[in-house]
Amino acid sequence: MNVTFNLASELETALQDAAQTAGLEADALNTEVRTADPRHGDFQANGVLGYAKARKLNPRATAEQIVAALPEDLLARCEVSIAGPGFINFTFGADTLLDWLQKHDTVDHLKSGASAFYQGQRFVVDYSSPNTAKQLHVGHIRSMVIGEAICRMLSFCGAEVTRDNHIGDWGTQFGKLIWGYKNLLDENALQTDALEELERLYKAADAATKEDAATLDAARAELVKLQQGDAENLALWKQIIAISSSAFQKVYDRLDIKFDHEHGESFYRDQLARVYQELEETGLSSESQGALVVFHPEHPRFKTQPFIVRKSDGASNYATTDLATMLYRTEHFKADAIIVLTDTRQSDHFQQLWLTTVKWYAAKNYPLPRFEHVSFGSILGDDGKAIKTRSGDPIRLHALLEEACDRAYTLVSEKSPDIPEEERQEIGRTVGMGAVRYADLSQNRSSDYVFNWEKILSFEGNTAPYLLYAVTRIHSIFRKLDFDPATIETATAAAPETPNEQALARKLVGLAAVLNMTTEQLRPHFLCTYLYELAGAFSSFYSADKVLVEDEAVRARRLLLCARTLLVLETGLHMLGLRTLQRM
Ligand code: ARG
């Protein structure tokens, strides 16, 4: 592993060593290096402030001590300055920028700058995870799109990623569904649109059980029969799952998502007894009104709000399967880290799950993985309320994706009517899917966001069309020259010189640091902002500095910048799950 490919981590190591040399408590100093505001430098370290404050030292003086101990060879390549309350800024010389540009000629070499972050760590990512027998609606897209981007970024940074679609296929809905199927089925409707019919059956059965106690009992009996392994109900259950799966699969195919496993809740049904037993034997659970529950006395809310792990009728629930899932992922996948994506409404559940796991694992001496509940807000309509169709129903995801591709196709056809029809269709799909995805990823996931077609399909601003267009623009430069940017001659190119060349190069060298921050916080919008700014830096460079000039040396060094911008933009967009285009 050649870590000099990563300038930020090279600085972090140098800072650690310097702090040691200067006689400071190096281990206690946060030497994290981030990309800086370009007015101050390429990178900044601001951990000195906290360190000095905690020890009542003068932060500037502490920073000066560290800087004085930095190695000569680094100071020769990099200007170091101290700003404000002890922030250390680093500005690399043009030769180092050139060195970076020369070395980062392929996706693999870009990877090598980041691959040290999670080398050898196993991540299980649980995302999408819809409930069976329901249509996917627009709200389901967040988990899919953010989850897939997180998987791709983590693997890029060296992690071993297992994608697990934790389908909700064992819930109480099956009692009603099976009762509905047996009593209310419309065979024709099942032939035409099976999932639609299942959804109707569920609603009708649900209504019937509310009206009539005998029906409710009948539905419960169907569920018990299923859970006890009744052959007829198991066969029906399997059929229902198959119908759902094939509908989900169509959406996954469109979004280029492939899971390694689809261990739904039902997968764990034989592993629940162990959960009850271990929680009881370790004294973590108690009986409360016939149910098995776990309280967390140290927590303000969960000391009275129980985590119910077995219902009073003896049935398992969401908590039970999630505890069994936790165990399976630790024991079978040997996960170092587990990430689950759902909207923020499930925060309590996952907090309780984690509190319980920590105590359970400690009592049993199981190795504790890292756990992250990656939560996100809702998608809103223009009125600021949860997005709905005109008739007030949730918007089907399938229909939304279809509309995105249609709208993008229309836009492309207006802009570039000369491109052949079939290619325009393909461009429409790429831009449409990219726009929907990017709209979701470019916002801080914790917030709600307003879904607006004009905005997400605009060629201006932080959007997919803007970035995809930037990519095609660079492709067209190389097309004019009739050569492949991957084969560019780098050895003889000179260092970036003009202010715009340098600004662009400085943006490029920040990629690894940005990925570090993005994966640390599991917030893809950091990468989006970076790519948007990179495209902006390219745009300023391209309008100020002509690329295809007579002077061969100037042309070579500018072409090198074009080639690397293209590589970083494409790699970044692919990591976010977007496809890119040669022209549009
Ligand atoms: N099926 C759940 C839902 O639709 C999400 C499951 C998330 N994963 C988990 N391990 N609980 O809300």
Domain presence at residue 31: yes
Rounded to the nearest whole angstrom, what is the distance from the C-alpha of residue 579 to the centroid of ligand 1? 28
Quick one: 537 and 571 in the same domain? yes
Q: Which atom of ligand 1 is nearest to the CA of 340?
A: 8
Q: Which atom of ligand 1 is nearest to the CA of 167?
A: 1
CA distance 28 to 50: 10
Quick one: 288 and 302 in the same domain? yes
CA distance 98 to 393: 55
Domain presence at residue 183: yes
Please give the residue range of the domain that contains residue 522. Answer: 420-575
Quick one: 207 and 350 in the same domain? no
Ligand 1 lined by 325 (C-beta under 6 Å):
yes
CA distance 143 to 409: 26
Ligand 1 lined by 129 (C-beta under 6 Å):
yes
Longest CA pairwise span in the chain (Å): 88
Ligand 1 lined by 342 (C-beta under 6 Å):
yes
Rounded to the nearest whole angstrom, what is the distance from the C-alpha of residue 377 to the centroid of ligand 1? 15
Rounded to the nearest whole angstrom, what is the distance from the C-alpha of residue 159 to the centroid of ligand 1? 23
Quick one: 231 and 278 in the same domain? no
Domain presence at residue 448: yes
Contact 280, 286 (CB under 8 A): no
Quick one: 225 and 346 in the same domain? no
CATH number at residue 339: 3.40.50.620
Quick one: 431 and 488 in the same domain? yes
Q: Between the CA of residue 375 and those of 143, 323, 357, what are the distances in Å?
A: 9, 19, 19
Rounded to the nearest whole angstrom, what is the distance from the C-alpha of residue 342 to the centroid of ligand 1? 7
Q: What is the pLDDT of residues 445-470, one digit of tens each?
A: 999 999 999 999 999 999 999 999 99
Strands 33-35 and 43-45: antiparallel
Q: Which atom of ligand 1 is nearest to the CA of 343?
A: 12
Mutation probe of ligand 1 site: the residue of 129, 275, 371 with most atoms within 8 A of C-beta:
129
Domains of the chain: total: 4
Rounded to the nearest whole angstrom, what is the distance from the C-alpha of residue 166 to the centroid of ligand 1? 6
Residues of the chain falling short of pLDDT 50: 1-3
Phi, psi of 442 (to 5 degrees): -80, -10
Q: Which two tokens stand for residue 223?
A: 């569920």
Q: Which two tokens stand for residue 381?
A: 């309509």
Domain presence at residue 334: yes
Mutation probe of ligand 1 site: the residue of 132, 342, 374, 397 with most atoms within 8 A of C-beta:
342
Q: Which atom of ligand 1 is nearest to the CA of 322?
A: 10
Contact 471, 581 (CB under 8 A): yes
Q: Between the CA of residue 263 and those of 129, 140, 269, 421, 448, what are the distances in Å?
A: 10, 18, 11, 41, 29
Which of 326, 356, 379 terminates a domain? The answer is 379
CA distance 144 to 577: 10
Domain presence at residue 58: yes
Domain presence at residue 187: yes
List the Cα angle 141/145/148 in 5-degree steps.
140
CATH number at residue 17: 3.30.1360.70
pLDDT attached to residue 101: 95
Domain presence at residue 583: no
For 482, the 3-state DSSP assignment is: coil
Rounded to the nearest whole angstrom, what is the distance from the C-alpha of residue 507 to the centroid of ligand 1? 38
Ligand 1 lined by 128 (C-beta under 6 Å):
no
Quick one: 249 and 285 in the same domain? no
Atom 3 of ligand 1 has which residue's CA nearest to it? 130
Quick one: 280 and 210 in the same domain? no
pLDDT attached to residue 388: 87
Which of 92, 111, 130 terminates a domain? The answer is 92
Q: Which two tokens stand for residue 129?
A: 């995870």
Atom 4 of ligand 1 has which residue's CA nearest to it? 130
Q: Which atom of ligand 1 is nearest to the CA of 346?
A: 12
Q: In residues, how long is the chain?
A: 584
Quick one: 207 and 245 in the same domain? yes
Amino acid at 455: K
CA distance 273 to 310: 10
Rounded to the nearest whole angstrom, what is the distance from the C-alpha of residue 187 to the centroid of ligand 1? 31
Atom 7 of ligand 1 has which residue's CA nearest to it? 129
Rounded to the nearest whole angstrom, what is the distance from the C-alpha of residue 322 to the centroid of ligand 1? 9
Domain presence at residue 209: yes
Atom 5 of ligand 1 has which residue's CA nearest to it? 129
CATH number at residue 560: 1.10.730.10
For 131, the 3-state DSSP assignment is: strand
Quick one: 316 and 230 in the same domain? no
Q: Which atom of ligand 1 is nearest to the CA of 341?
A: 7
Quick one: 145 and 191 in the same domain? no
Ligand 1 lined by 130 (C-beta under 6 Å):
yes
Quick one: 522 and 566 in the same domain? yes
Which of 41, 71, 92 terminates a domain? The answer is 92
